[in-house]
Amino acid sequence: MGARLVVIGGDAGGMTAAAQARRLDSDLEIVVLERGNWVSYSACGIPYLVGGEVESIHDLVARTPQELRDTYRIDVRLRHEAMAVDLDAREVEVRSHERDRTFRLGFDQLLIATGARPRRPDLPGIDGPTVMGVQTLDDASALLQRVRGAGAGRVVVVGGGYVGLEMAEAFVRRGSEVTVVESSPQVMSTLDHDMGVLVSTAMRRHGIEVRCGTRVEAFSEGIVHTDAGELPADLVILGLGVTPNSELAAEAGIGLGDGQAIRVDRRQATDTEGVWAAGDCCESFHLVTGRPFHIALGTVANKHGRVAGINLGGGYATFPGVVGTAVSKVCSTEVARTGLGEDEARAAGFGCVATTITATTRAGYYPGGGEIRVKMVAERGTGRLLGAQIVGEEGAAKRIDVVATAITRGMRVHELVDLDLSYAPPFSPLWDPVQIAARRSAAAVDG
């Protein structure tokens, strides 16, 4: 048996790394500790499980523990929680919830992939049984049990970020009356205000009550108390963003960075020899601002995991960084963003030019198209593309990937205008909306 790699956390970051390390090093002993009942699952699919598009919770599992044992020879231990890391002894203190015992497990290399947890502000009643966050499949299973048992006629979603939006849609699909409460003036605070307004408007059109500029103050049996009155609720879903699960690392003396996420270098190594981190629990690097940046996304967690796994398996890989690309949808309305918004660009010290266009997702005469709004942010003077945001109907959101690619390559909006993008009437107008936006942006940059 070779050296031992212990992985804490058995989802996107941890399992990707474990499988990748195995591909490169067949001698490595790999132990994965997972405190929950599931590994290698898609948390991203939870809203669609709750909404009924996905039939079974098992459909969200990519590989079962048995498959991981058989195919990758990974020792997967469910209901095993890492309680502490002793860096001097190079041991993890592990609690087996099943056997109700604690033991110590030595490691040569350690990967921390503990993810993040939904934020729970310290409000009266927040720990009540009807106030639920969703992050893991265990959370999803508990939520479905509650909905099937006690019902969910009236649902209040606290927080209008993308998880809030997706969970609002899920309960609309289940026939619930849904209210989203958001303290900011608009939902989707990762968008600029003018684009967030479009999302709030679309949600109301889809039958969701949206209360912006409203603060939740407390929860009691069947009621959400806000600064603008009481809302009846059989169920409350928290969508207030996440906090990295970095306490285990911090208590061991491992350094933290942006948003209390574990600080890592480009190879996903922490500041402690032989200890690595991947996924929502650790930082990334923002390619536009040039600064460390915490972003909790499955796409990023998988890529961190791949890089960490290559390094743990004896190879060499670096994570190049992110531009903050994300897509989501609420009913038929799609939302996307990449790079910096107008406000973020200014806050990061850029002089910028922001322009917005309205177009259609297909050729105007072709049936089934819808409206698409594209906002583009470019650097004043140089025309360097800094960011874009899209709100529109079906087919709108994935266009953001072209812009994300352009930002990553440091392109100017003028160069985006010239790209040889595809066209046929069922897919886009002759000029794709992102190129229409780039033309407008280039004109504004040129004055």
Ligand X SMILES: Cc1cc2nc3c(=O)[nH]c(=O)nc-3n(C[C@H](O)[C@H](O)[C@H](O)COP(=O)(O)OP(=O)(O)OC[C@H]3O[C@@H](n4cnc5c(N)ncnc54)[C@H](O)[C@@H]3O)c2cc1C
Closest CA to 203 of 157, 235, 234, 236: 157
Among 6, 11, 156, 400, indicate the residue that binds ligand X (CB under 6 A): 11
Query: Does residue 157 touch ligand X according to CB under 6 A?
Result: no
* Distance, CA of 326 to CA of 322 (rounded, Å): 11
For the CB of residue 291, give the shortest distance to ligand X in the complex, in Å.
Answer: 20
Among 6, 65, 81, 188, indicate the residue that binds ligand X (CB under 6 A): 81
Query: What is 308-331 written as a DSSP string?
Result: HHHHHTT-------B---EEEEET
Stretch that binds ligand X, among 32-40, 172-180, 284-292, 397-405 (CB under 6 A): 32-40
Q: Which is nearer to ligand X, 8 or 402 (by Cβ)?
A: 8
Query: Does residue 82 touch ligand X according to CB under 6 A?
Result: yes
SS3 breakdown of the chain: % helix, strand, coil, rounded to 5?
Answer: 30, 30, 40
Restricting to residues 389-408, which ones interact with ligand X according to CB under 6 A? Answer: none
Q: Which is nearer to ligand X, 188 or 359 (by Cβ)?
A: 188
Among 135, 226, 333, 441, indicate the residue that binds ligand X (CB under 6 A): 135
Q: Which two tokens stand for residue 74?
A: 């990974």
Query: Does residue 30 touch ligand X according to CB under 6 A?
Result: no
The strand ranges marked E within 278-365 are 284-286, 291-293, 326-330, 333-339, 352-360
Among 5, 6, 7, 10, indicate the residue that binds ligand X (CB under 6 A): 10
Evaluate whether 217 touches 123 at the Cβ level (below 8 Å): yes
Query: Does residue 301 touch ligand X according to CB under 6 A?
Result: yes
- What is the DSSP secondary structure assignment for residue 398, as one 8-state letter? G
Closest CA to 279 of 119, 115, 134, 61: 115
Closest CA to 129 of 7, 23, 8, 234: 234
Stretch that binds ligand X, among 31-39, 196-204, 396-404, 435-443 (CB under 6 A): 31-39
Query: Does residue 248 touch ligand X according to CB under 6 A?
Result: yes
For the CB of residue 315, give the shortest distance to ligand X in the complex, in Å.
Answer: 21
* Distance, CA of 175 to CA of 156 (rounded, Å): 13
* Distance, CA of 195 to CA of 188 (rounded, Å): 9
Query: Does residue 96 touch ligand X according to CB under 6 A?
Result: no
Q: Which two tokens stand for residue 58?
A: 């098992």
Among 30, 49, 296, 376, indicate the residue that binds ligand X (CB under 6 A): 296
Q: Which is nearer to ligand X, 86 or 446 (by Cβ)?
A: 86
Query: Does residue 439 touch ligand X according to CB under 6 A?
Result: no
Query: Does residue 115 touch ligand X according to CB under 6 A?
Result: yes
Number of shown-chain residues binding ligand X (CB under 6 A): 35
* Distance, CA of 112 to CA of 437 (rounded, Å): 42
Query: Does residue 136 touch ligand X according to CB under 6 A?
Result: yes
Amino acid of residue 353: V
Site pattern 166..195 for ligand X (x: CB under 6 A)? x-----------------------------
For the CB of residue 171, give the shortest distance to ligand X in the complex, in Å.
Answer: 13
For the CB of residue 392, give the shortest distance to ligand X in the complex, in Å.
Answer: 18
Closest CA to 334 of 168, 205, 202, 190: 202
Please state the three-class secondary structure of 199-254 as a single string: HHHHHHHCCCEEEECCCEEEEECCEEEECCEEEECCEEEECCCEEECCHHHHHHCC
For the CB of residue 113, give the shortest distance to ligand X in the complex, in Å.
Answer: 5
Among 40, 109, 179, 245, indicate the residue that binds ligand X (CB under 6 A): 245
Amino acid of residue 149: G
β-pairing verdict for 352-360 and 333-339: unpaired
Q: Which residue numbers are catalytic?
A: 44
For the CB of residue 295, give the shortest distance to ligand X in the complex, in Å.
Answer: 8
**What's the start-to-end Cα distance of the chain, in Å?**
67
Among 17, 19, 111, 134, indicate the residue that binds ligand X (CB under 6 A): 134
* Distance, CA of 292 to CA of 302 (rounded, Å): 18
Q: Which is nearer to ligand X, 230 or 247 (by Cβ)?
A: 247
Binding site for ligand X (CB under 6 A): 8-14, 33-36, 43-44, 46-47, 81-82, 113-116, 134-136, 163, 166, 245, 248, 279-280, 296-299, 301
